[in-house]
Structure 1
Amino acid sequence: MAESHDDNPALFEDDDNRAVYIFAPAGHGGSPQQEKARPVKRRKFTSKRASSSSAAAAAEVVREGEAEMERAQTTTAAAAAFPPLFGGKESVEAAALRRQVFDTAWPVLDGRIKNVLREANRTTLEDVSSFIRDAEGDTTRGTRIPAGFIITGPNIASQDLLFEQLSEALGKATQARFVRLRAAGVPNLKAALKKVIRDATAQVSSDGGGGGDGDEDAKVTFGRDGRKYLDYDLEGLHAFLSSQQDPLKRVIVAFEDSEAFESSLLTDLLALFHSWQGRIQFSVLFGIATSVELFQARLLKSTARQLFGAKFDVVQADLVLDNVFKSAIAGTQATLRLGPALLRNLLDRQRDQVAGIRVFISSIKYAYMCHFYANPLSVLLADEKSLTRQLLQPEHLQAVRTLDSFKAHVEAAVDARQLNHAQSLVEDDGYLVKQMVEQRQKKQDYLMQLLRSLHLLTSMDLVPSRFTDLYVSALAGGLDLTPTIDAIKRLGADDVPALINRLLAAIQTGNPDLDLPGWEDEAEDLISSLTEIRDEIEALAEQAREKGQQSLKSKFTAQSKILRTTVVAQKVQLSQDTAKLTEEDKAFGKTIDSLVDLLTHHIYSEPIDSLFLHQAWAYDAEAPYRDVFVPRPGTTFERALTRPHGYLGCECCSKTTGTLSATLPTTCILYQLYLETGSLVNVADLWSAYYALVGEDSDVGLGEREALVRFYRGLAELRLMGFVKQSRKKADHVAKVKWLL
């Protein structure tokens, strides 16, 4: 064999007898020999006995250099982060101003959101902290474990925020170590103990995720004497707490989804914690979605007797969502307004899919990013000092003239016979810029009128509607006062003065959640009219009582309508008639009409899309939000594999319209062949069809070795994307996988 090998050296290649073949086609890297020929990188070594002064000086120079580089990067970050729009014609200053407005607007909003989340569960956090802190000195509990039963409700997604806040609050209030357990992460007792010890000692064990019974048990050194303990041995936790000179030795274990834990696991854990209660002060918290009674029924009576418990209620997720909505979306501090279509999608997703509040906040931030990144007119949201006339380019004015709101505004001006105004908007750039500046104040007036109207509407408390639904409806089609007016007309004489008092209080105090101040100085006419109506109704009620009438009634109330019974030919006929109204009742009805007219005049709002230039300060695009937060990867993969030119932008794929071509990427070719097969795909047949298309006789002219490597890589990518899997029926076949689009 050696002689034949020497005689025919061309029959064998260097790569034939290798265990692993590294594919390196021409133009994509050098050969292994070229890699070996590269010079070895020389490294600089310094002596360990270098002087401390020179090291400090070098460190100072490095810090100064890093600070200077950071300052240089900061000055150019705004322009570099947002690319110029208008096909690259947007000025660098305008692009930088868009980034500056975003960097200014979102931190303010983010701070308000964090404050809302912090205040949402403040009462619960204080109660739980005081319970854990006072349980140590309570002599009535004996050796029982302090247990807090937190009724979180069915929304599991909202529990993450609550227990994160509990971790921070209890860590500061009780100086205890907080451990969070979820049923999916701790399937058995050993995994639960590993998780408790690892989180309590703030060490990462060598087993990675805490594992199950099959994980290798690691030994970790906890004490100062160097003794090693198994990573699921509570003796090691006790040694660690003793070495930290922690006199309390408190550990709080929180079971977030306690109903998902097996009863046997909870029983074993609680029994183990109880046996160590004299050396380590364990406290437990249970997140309960149902009730304490149902949870207690899952435990043994002996286990329940080992607990010293208290029940706590938390703010429901819907209320937290409403508070975040008022602060971040509807509040006066919000720079950008989200449109009704996008808001409806956000709210429906939160309620239908039971998503967490952090997903809602991320959706708001993503909307801000999309608006300021992709809308060149978002520069109009800058303040008057930053937005100068020189910054507005002809492209900005041309973009304004192409807006639907601009066209509607011009058509309305023509219909109103304001021809000079309409002509100047179309032809005069200076006049258009002046109108754009005036729209800033009109925008503020619109938002203030909207929020004041909604605040008055909700303060009356006549229609059981959420603020979020009222806000979205007002943006979409204006305020609908019909249900409120009907409810006002049915009120009695004692209820109307109370309603007016609520309206007066709402005008004076405003709404802190919306950051809406009171406007009693601007609503003097409204306040005086409401006061007169209230005094008049109270006077009419007093006159009616003096005449012996129990209560006032109007033509709108049910008391003014009576049911008349008539017997004709032994048949009973029922008819509805109107009761006789006194003079006071008629005056009361007129007063109700005056109140309705007054409220209709002051509580109103127009749809947001009826305002001129609303596209600059309102974002209502649904497609980017759905693509990111409600993705459809199956559809995306199918589109990319059938039309790769839309993603690659190469000329070789531009001429193919869903047909097979040798110039397509290998994965796309295999996907086209994959669509023509049945449920089982013969890999050999697939290879034959592929090589017949891209082989040496084709336009591409690939060799067999290179084509085979590309085939394997393309097939592996199809498997990675979830289109095929290994078949158990036939070894040389792969099975199709159906995507749920």
Structure 2
Amino acid sequence: MATSSVSKGCFVFKPKDSKKRKTSTTADYFHKGKAVSENDKLRFSSYQSLWQQMKEETERLQENLNEKMFDNFISFIKKSHVQVNSEGNDWSYRMRCSEIPTAALVLGVNVPDHEMTVQSLSDLLKQSLTPHVVCLQGKECTTVKQVLQKILKHLMGGNGNEEEEEEEEEEDMERSVDFHQIKMSCSMASLCRWYNTVAKKSTSKSPRKKRKSLLQHEVAPPIVIIFKDLESFLPKVLQDFIIIASNYIQRLPLVLVFGIATSPIIIHRMLTHSVSSLLCIELFQSLPCIDHLAAVIDKLVLTTKFPFKLSGKVLQVLINIFLYHDFSAKNFVKGFQLSLLEHYYTQPLSFLCCALNETNARVHHLSHDDCELIRQLPSLMGYVDHQDSEKQVELLTNDQYLKTIVQTLLTDLHVYHKNYFAVLKCLHIFTSSLPKYPLGKQIRELYITCLESNVWEIKEYSSAFQLLGMMAKDELVRLLQKCVEVLQSSEHKSLAQATQTLEDFLAKFQKLDDAPVDDVEDGEENITESQRSLQKKTDLYQLQKTLMEMKVLKRRKKPSRFECLRMDVLQFMDQLARQYLVSPDTQPLHELVYFQDASTLRRHLNAAPRAALQMALSNPYYYLKNEALKSEGGTITYAAPDICIIYKLHLECGRLINLYDWLQAFATVVCAAEGKDPDEINNGQVEGVIHARFIRAVSELEFLGFIKSTKRKTDHVARLTWGGF
């Protein structure tokens, strides 16, 4: 067990026969400390399977959203140094070669999503273009020396993130560089020497089987340096590094990438004109975070691919956190995952929240206890109340009959969602372009409205249809064509008739264009005659009489064929909404697939640290679960921790707290807890231990932000918070 070393050190030797501590897994929490049942395992496996599908869907979505930007970015890097080895005598070419190719990547204010985007970009570069990719963060690079050290460590020492299972021994020996030497010789000259000896050798070798290079090996691969958060870098450090790198741009194929959260103008604010002129900047814009959220909601929420659904209040909590906190689609997906986990954890029948092809087998294996839990669901109780007496008896007593009905209801629930989302998208197509957006501009707003109540009962619904009643023919035809495409994509039999009706409306509008102009109606002739009479000389009485006649004739005017057809279209859309957009709360067994506990989700995601601190200090039993800490409101328990006693005593004081009086009150409580007589404190002298405990508790309270020192009185502290639990 002994060891020798030139330098002093501490060595830890673990015993060979030591038993590993048993760690709890996520599956252990599903049975809540009870015996593990088959339903618990099934719930956990269902959660894992469903979340894996959702995770893969979001990853594919992320790749598709950034695909165009990444393709342009790869093309920019490929062309940045492709002509370095070619001969060029043009003045503009020589000027461009003396500049550092720089990509300004505007990622948006959704900072939590930047890591995911940058990581995807880095992986894509390593797989398709170059293995020499370095990612830098502002908090790790406060000096130029640290910037160079990070670059040399990632390139010369190996990144550790490259998944290359088969590497040649010669390359391994060249990459095994002592990190102490890197720190001693951190300079661009060292990087040049390494690149000339190591990187260019890879160009003469055949490409690896696993790496599909888009860049032919005629040109050495570039070195891409990504500044993840440009705003957090010190301007002086950034300027010095760019000046140093510009002197080596003819020998090193460098490419800089600036990750920008605010605006591209930040580059010119951080860099002087002389430094920014050394860069050849090209701008790349990522998808706005609002569009990213809309795509995520469309793929995860407004779909029948996944059986799990969110209630209106839960979805509103997640959207509010997105809009008012971080604009992060990544955090929105995490909140969605938390909702999924809470649903499968708290709902004992959530194992029935699965794909439709798995439902029949799981319903068939329901036990008697499971059937009793199903009978206790409020939605099924309402369904039973609407049945006749014989079916009610069968549903409440016969488990086999109940299983048959449950299978039918779950199938109907799936069909309900298919029709619901198709009609919802059609209604959104009609109302999203209206002035002032009475039913919302985004489909998520309309969806939340439909979840919380019947949409046709609100005032905004009637306002929207009044505006639709004034829509022009061309716009109405365009909206009908979009609705037909949506209904055809649903491919459900119940909406086939609705699709055919909309196609018939389109055909009638087409006939309106082809039909000849009808003769002028009698009412229109009378109006024209009245308008002509207005042009003649007349007195005030005759003028008033003519205007009244015109008003009456306009009221009697028959609507045109287009107006009648437009009214029929709106009536049909209103009929579709009333038929298919009924609230999910009316559907039997909706509790199995809908998560409705918005308060739990809000408590987990919207943390309130001050409220938690005040609860812990005023009522320590809430967290410590010690019976000796139980007390009535407002009283001070002697067995409470020192900081809790100090906190309750400071609640009795005003704006300024006298430290001496505070100490005496604390000593009185502590002495009573230890069984001492508080009157034994002679002349106000307290023991040194009590005094030290008081100072430590006051310091902790100051650290938590409840008090602060004040210059108004030297022996006082100022109170910073008011109120408590």
**TM-score range relative to shorter protein:** 0.7 to 0.9
Residue aligning to 1:114: 59
The question of whether the paired residues in 2 share the 8 Å contact of 1:222 and 1:239 is answered with no
The question of whether the paired residues in 1 share the 8 Å contact of 2:101 and 2:254 is answered with yes
CA distance in 1, matches of 2:556, 2:132: 73
Residue aligning to 1:443: 413
CA distance in 1, matches of 2:565, 2:542: 42
Aligned pairs for 1:433-512 (under 5 A) are: 433-460=403-430, 462-463=433-434, 465-480=441-456, 482=462, 485-508=465-488, 510=489
Distance 1:91 1:563, change over 3 A: farther
Give 2:379's aligned amino acid.
S
Which of 77, 80, 96 is matched with 2:41 structurally?
96
Instruction: Tell me the CA shift for residue 115 of structure 1.
Output: 0.8
Which of 99, 121, 125 is matched with 1:166 structurally?
121
Residue-by-residue CA offset, 1:12-44 (whole Å, 9 max, x unaligned)? xxxxxxxxxxxxxxxxxxxxxxxxxxxxx9968
The question of whether the paired residues in 1 share the 8 Å contact of 2:153 and 2:182 is answered with no
Residue-by-residue CA offset, 1:71-125 (whole Å, 9 max, x unaligned)? xx9xx9686341259xx5x861222221121112111111101111111111111
Residue aligning to 1:384: 359
Residue aligning to 1:82: 30
Instruction: Tell me the CA shift for residue 615 of structure 1.
Output: 1.9
Matched, 1:128 2:73: yes
Give 2:481's aligned amino acid.
N
Secondary structure of the residue aligned to 2:667 is helix
Residue aligning to 2:105: 150
Distance 1:711 1:568, change over 3 A: farther
Distance 1:43 1:539, change over 3 A: closer
**Greater mean alpha carbon deviation, residues 729-738 or residues 141-150:** 729-738
Instruction: Tell me the CA shift for residue 331 of structure 1.
Output: 1.9
**Greater mean alpha carbon deviation, residues 95-104 or residues 376-385:** 376-385
Residue aligning to 1:626: 602
Aligned pairs for 1:306-385 (under 5 A) are: 306-382=278-354, 383-384=358-359
Higher RCO (CA < 8 A, seq sep 6+): 2
CA distance in 2, matches of 1:605, 1:232: 66
Aligned pairs for 1:31-42 (under 5 A) are: none
**Greater mean alpha carbon deviation, residues 562-571 or residues 243-252:** 562-571
CA distance in 2, matches of 1:243, 1:732: 70
> C-alpha root-mean-square deviation of aligned residues, in Å?
4.5
CA distance in 1, matches of 2:289, 2:37: 43
Matched, 1:593 2:567: yes
Secondary structure of the residue aligned to 1:661 is coil
CA distance in 1, matches of 2:121, 2:105: 11
The question of whether the paired residues in 2 share the 8 Å contact of 1:148 and 1:311 is answered with yes
CA distance in 2, matches of 1:293, 1:704: 63
Residue-by-residue CA offset, 1:678-704 (whole Å, 9 max, x unaligned)? 5444474365234223223389xxx98
CA distance in 2, matches of 1:187, 1:282: 21
Q: What is the percent sequence identity of the aligned residues? A: 18
Structure 2, unmatched stretches of 5+, are: 1-12, 160-174, 202-219, 525-530, 679-685
The question of whether the paired residues in 1 share the 8 Å contact of 2:643 and 2:697 is answered with yes
The question of whether the paired residues in 2 share the 8 Å contact of 1:321 and 1:357 is answered with yes
Larger fraction in helix:
2
The question of whether the paired residues in 2 share the 8 Å contact of 1:193 and 1:233 is answered with yes
Give 2:105's aligned amino acid.
I
CA distance in 1, matches of 2:14, 2:392: 74
Instruction: Tell me the CA shift for residue 424 of structure 1.
Output: 5.3
CA distance in 1, matches of 2:643, 2:360: 54
Instruction: Tell me the CA shift for residue 635 of structure 1.
Output: 0.8
Secondary structure of the residue aligned to 2:225 is strand
CA distance in 2, matches of 1:608, 1:338: 10
Which of 643, 668, 676 is matched with 1:689 structurally?
668
CA distance in 1, matches of 2:318, 2:507: 45
Residue aligning to 1:617: 593
The question of whether the paired residues in 2 share the 8 Å contact of 1:145 and 1:283 is answered with yes
Which of 612, 621, 635 is matched with 1:636 structurally?
612
Instruction: Tell me the CA shift for residue 715 of structure 1.
Output: 5.7
Number of corresponding residues: 632
Aligned pairs for 1:180-199 (under 5 A) are: 180-199=135-154
Which of 237, 242, 246 is matched with 1:274 structurally?
246
Residue aligning to 2:5: none
CA distance in 2, matches of 1:628, 1:84: 19
Aligned pairs for 1:714-729 (under 5 A) are: 718=701, 721-723=704-706
Distance 1:647 1:278, change over 3 A: same
Distance 1:401 1:642, change over 3 A: farther
Secondary structure of the residue aligned to 2:97 is coil
Residue-by-residue CA offset, 1:484-515 (whole Å, 9 max, x unaligned)? 6445433334444433332332233x2xxxxx
Give 1:95's aligned amino acid.
D
The question of whether the paired residues in 1 share the 8 Å contact of 2:304 and 2:414 is answered with no
Matched, 1:300 2:245: no
CA distance in 2, matches of 1:345, 1:333: 23
Give 1:530's aligned amino acid.
L
The question of whether the paired residues in 1 share the 8 Å contact of 2:224 and 2:255 is answered with yes
Secondary structure of the residue aligned to 2:284 is strand
Residue aligning to 2:10: none
The question of whether the paired residues in 2 share the 8 Å contact of 1:497 and 1:537 is answered with yes
Give 1:83's aligned amino acid.
H
**Greater mean alpha carbon deviation, residues 277-286 or residues 176-185:** 176-185
Instruction: Tell me the CA shift for residue 471 of structure 1.
Output: 1.8
Instruction: Tell me the CA shift for residue 285 of structure 1.
Output: 2.0
Residue aligning to 1:62: none
TM-score by length of 1: 0.73
Instruction: Tell me the CA shift for residue 128 of structure 1.
Output: 0.8
Give 1:529's aligned amino acid.
T
Instruction: Tell me the CA shift for residue 307 of structure 1.
Output: 1.7
The question of whether the paired residues in 1 share the 8 Å contact of 2:293 and 2:329 is answered with yes
CA distance in 1, matches of 2:475, 2:715: 81
Residue-by-residue CA offset, 1:240-299 (whole Å, 9 max, x unaligned)? 545644554733233344455555443322211101213332211234456546744664
Distance 1:736 1:527, change over 3 A: closer
Give 1:447's aligned amino acid.
H
Residue-by-residue CA offset, 1:369-401 (whole Å, 9 max, x unaligned)? 11111221313325336525664453x455545
Secondary structure of the residue aligned to 1:664 is coil
CA distance in 2, matches of 1:650, 1:340: 40
The question of whether the paired residues in 2 share the 8 Å contact of 1:144 and 1:308 is answered with yes
**Greater mean alpha carbon deviation, residues 223-232 or residues 533-542:** 223-232
CA distance in 1, matches of 2:125, 2:353: 42
CA distance in 2, matches of 1:306, 1:114: 37
**Greater mean alpha carbon deviation, residues 534-543 or residues 189-198:** 189-198
Secondary structure of the residue aligned to 2:516 is helix
Give 1:80's aligned amino acid.
D
The question of whether the paired residues in 2 share the 8 Å contact of 1:229 and 1:235 is answered with no
Instruction: Tell me the CA shift for residue 184 of structure 1.
Output: 4.9
TM-score by length of 2: 0.74
Give 2:623's aligned amino acid.
Y
**Greater mean alpha carbon deviation, residues 265-274 or residues 420-429:** 420-429
